Amino acid sequence: MFQFLPINISQGLIAITPELFVMGLAFVVIIADLLLPLSKKRRILDLAAFGLVVALILSVPNIFQPAKYVFNNMLVVDPFSGFFKLIILGSAIFMLLMSRDYKPLPDNKIGEYSALVVLVTLGMMLMAGASDLLMLFLTIEFASIIFFILVGFLRQDVKSGEGAVKYFLLGAFSSAVFVYGASFLVGVTGASNFASIQQYISAHGVTPLFIVGLLLMLVGFGFKIALVPFHMWAPDAYEGAPTPVTAFLSVASKAAGVAVLVRTFISLLPENANVNLILGVMAAITMTVGNLVAITQNNVKRLLAYSGIAHVGYIMVGFIAYGVFGIEAVLIYTLAYLFTNMGAFAFAIAIYNKTGSDDIRDYAGMSLVNPLLSFVFFIFLISLAGVPPTAGFLGKLLVLAAAIDSGYIWLAIIGVLNSVVALYFYARIAYYMYFVEPKMKEPIKPSGALKLIMFVSLFMVLFICLFPQKIIEIAGQVSLILRTFNGL
C-alpha cells in the first residue's frame, strides 16, 4: 500500500488508519446530506454512528501496540492515545444515537450537524495523540471551533446563542494565553516537538521561563477541561447547547483535554521541577466549587455541568499523584465517567422529550409511573456520587488511593469531604423521583436508541466495578507504556 509515497509518510498513514477512516466518513456524511431527501435526513445520524463504530473497532489494536512517533514526531500513536480515542469514539456514537430522538434539532440541518460531529471526533482523536506544540494548538482549535458551532446550533434559542458566545470568547482568550505559553517553550528550547524538547531538557535542565510557559499552557488545557478558575463558560454552554452536544462536550471534550494535559506534563515536565502544589490547589478548588455550586441548581443540565467540573477535580487528583498508579486511576475514572454521564444524559433527553423541561422538580414521582427507568437513573446517580457497586465508586477509590499512595493526604481528605457534598445533590434528584407527589400521569416510552444507550451504560457501570481486574490490568499496561516511552 502507498508505494508511491515516501516511506515515513506511508508508515504514518497506516498508523493513523482510524483517523483516516473518520475523515473519509466526514466526506461521506457531507455527500449523503446532498443526496438524501428531507424526510430521510435523520438516517445520516445512523450512518455516522455506524461509521464511528467501525472506527472504534479499528482503534482497538492501538491499545496493544508499542508506542511510536509518526509524521516527523508530529503525532504519537501509543496505547494511551488509543485508550482516549476509544472513549472519544464511544461518546460520539452515544451522542449520535441520542440526537436521533432529540426533537429541537431541525431536520434540514441534520446533515451539517452530523458532519460537524464526525469532524470534531476526528479533531479530538488527533488531539489525544498530538506530540508537537504546533499540532497540539491546531487540534485544540480544531475541536474548539466546531464545539463553538455545535453549542450554538439551535439558532432560535436565545440560551444556545448565549452559551456559544461565552464559550467562544473565553475560548479565544484562553487559546491566546496557551499560544503565548507555547512560544516560551519554543523560545527556550528552540524546538516544537516533544521528542526534541525532551532532549533539550535532559541536556540543559529546565529554566524558570520554561515552567512559566508550561503553566501558561495550563490555562488552555484548563479551559478545555473546565478546571476552576477557567470554568466560567461551562454552565451556560452546557445549559444552552442541544442536550446531546452537552453530553458530548462533557465527556469527549474533557477526555481529550485530560489526554493532552497528561501527555504534555508527563513528556515535558521533569519530576524535579515541582508544580504539583499549584495543580493540587487547583484540583481542590475545582472539586469544592463544582460540588458546592451544584447544590443550588435545579436545571439538570446545569447540575451535571457543575458536577462535571467537580469530576475534573478528581481526575486532576489522580494526575497529580503521577506514577503508574495515578495515570491508571485517571484512565479508569474517565472511562467510568463516560458511561455514567452518557446514561444520565440519555435519561434527561427521554424526560425532556416527554415534558419539555430540564427542571429536576419536574422529575417528581417518576418512580411510580416509570419504576424501571427510575431505578436505572438512580444507579447512574449513585455512580456519579461514587457509591458502590458502580464504576464511579471504583474510579474515586483508585484516585484517592493514588493520592494517599504518593503522600497527598490533604487532597484525599478534601476529595472524601466533597463526595459527601456530592451525595447530597445527587440524592436530591432521587428524592424528587421517589418521595414527591407525581406530576406526570402516563409512563415515558423512550425510543430504542435511548434504551440501548441506557442499558449498555448500565451494564458497563456495573461491570467495571464488579469485574475490574481486566480493565485495571489494561489501564496499568497503558500507563506503564506511557511512562517508559517518556523515559520515566
Partner 1 sequence: MDFPFFNGQLITYGFFLLFATVAIASALLVVSVKNIMHSALFLALFLLSVAAMFFIFDADFLGIVQILLYIGGVIVLILFAVMLTSRVSSQLIQQTNEQKFLAIIVCIFLFGMLSYVIFTSGLKGFERPLVEGGITRNVGQLLMTVYVLPFEVASLVLLAALIGAMVIVGKKDE
Kindly tell me which residue out of 93, 145, 226, 336 binds partner 1, with binding defined by CB under 8 A.
145
Query: Which residue number, 108 or 296, has a Cβ lying nearer to partner 1?
Result: 108
Q: Binding to partner 1 by residue 78, rule CB under 8 A?
A: no
Query: Which residue number, 71 or 485, has a Cβ lying nearer to partner 1?
Result: 71
Kindly tell me which residue out of 14, 40, 61, 108 binds partner 1, with binding defined by CB under 8 A.
108
Q: Binding to partner 1 by residue 71, rule CB under 8 A?
A: yes
Kindly tell me which residue out of 106, 205, 229, 448 binds partner 1, with binding defined by CB under 8 A.
106
Neighbouring-strand partners of residue 77:
68
| Residues 6 or more apart in contact with residue 345 via CB below 8 angstroms | 98, 243, 244, 246, 247, 250, 304
Q: How far is the CB of 27 from partner 1 (least distance, A)?
A: 9
Kindly tell me which residue out of 18, 51, 79, 152 binds partner 1, with binding defined by CB under 8 A.
152
Q: Binding to partner 1 by residue 149, rule CB under 8 A?
A: yes
Cα(26)–Cα(70) distance, integer angstroms: 23
Q: How far is the CB of 115 from partner 1 (least distance, A)?
A: 6
Q: Binding to partner 1 by residue 244, rule CB under 8 A?
A: no
Kindly tell me which residue out of 69, 83, 94, 148 binds partner 1, with binding defined by CB under 8 A.
148
Query: Which residue number, 193 or 419, has a Cβ lying nearer to partner 1?
Result: 193
Cα(382)–Cα(6) distance, integer angstroms: 53
Query: Which residue number, 31 or 372, has a Cβ lying nearer to partner 1?
Result: 31
Kindly tell me which residue out of 21, 24, 28, 30 binds partner 1, with binding defined by CB under 8 A.
30
Query: Which residue number, 13 or 54, has a Cβ lying nearer to partner 1?
Result: 13
Q: How far is the CB of 145 from partner 1 (least distance, A)?
A: 6
Which string of b and e fits 53-83 if b means at least 16 CB within 10 Å?
eebbebbeebbeeebebbbebbbbbbbbbbb
Cα(304)–Cα(310) distance, integer angstroms: 10
Amino acid at 275: V
Q: Binding to partner 1 by residue 395, rule CB under 8 A?
A: no
Cα(212)–Cα(208) distance, integer angstroms: 6
Q: Binding to partner 1 by residue 155, rule CB under 8 A?
A: yes
Q: How far is the CB of 104 from partner 1 (least distance, A)?
A: 11
Q: How far is the CB of 373 from partner 1 (least distance, A)?
A: 32
Q: How far is the CB of 109 from partner 1 (least distance, A)?
A: 7
Kindly tell me which residue out of 78, 101, 141, 358 binds partner 1, with binding defined by CB under 8 A.
141
The count of C-alpha atoms lying within 13 angstroms of the C-alpha of 255, restricted to the half-sphere facing its C-beta, is 35
In a 3-state reduction of DSSP, which class is residue 272? coil
Query: Which residue number, 138 or 423, has a Cβ lying nearer to partner 1?
Result: 138
Query: Which residue number, 157 or 405, has a Cβ lying nearer to partner 1?
Result: 157
Q: How far is the CB of 106 from partner 1 (least distance, A)?
A: 5
Kindly tell me which residue out of 134, 295, 409, 466 binds partner 1, with binding defined by CB under 8 A.
134
Amino acid at 338: L
Which pairs count as long-range contacts for 373-379, CB under 8 Å and 24+ apart, including other chains?
A: 373/347, 373/444, 373/446, 373/454, 374/433, 374/434, 376/343, 376/347, 376/454, 376/455, 376/458, 377/343, 377/344, 377/347, 377/433, 378/430, 378/433, 379/458, 379/461, 379/462
Kindly determine how many residues on this chain lie close enough to bind partner 1 according to the rule CB under 8 A.
37
Nine-digit cell at 61?
489494536
Q: Which window, 50-58, 121-129, 183-191, 350-358, contacts partner 1 (CB under 8 A)? A: 121-129
Q: Binding to partner 1 by residue 140, rule CB under 8 A?
A: no
Which string of b and e fits 314-337 if b means at least 16 CB within 10 Å?
bbbbbbbbbebbbbbbbbbbbbbb
Query: Which residue number, 138 or 177, has a Cβ lying nearer to partner 1?
Result: 138
Q: Binding to partner 1 by residue 120, rule CB under 8 A?
A: yes
Cα(152)–Cα(140) distance, integer angstroms: 19
Nine-digit cell at 403?
493520592
How distant is the alpha carbon of residue 254 from its chain centre?
3
Nine-digit cell at 82?
488509543
Radius of gyration of the chain (CA): 22
Footprint on this chain of partner 1 (rule: CB under 8 A):
6, 9, 12, 23, 26, 30, 71-72, 74-75, 106, 108-109, 112-113, 115-116, 119-120, 122-123, 126, 132, 134-135, 138-139, 141-142, 145-146, 148-149, 152-153, 155-156
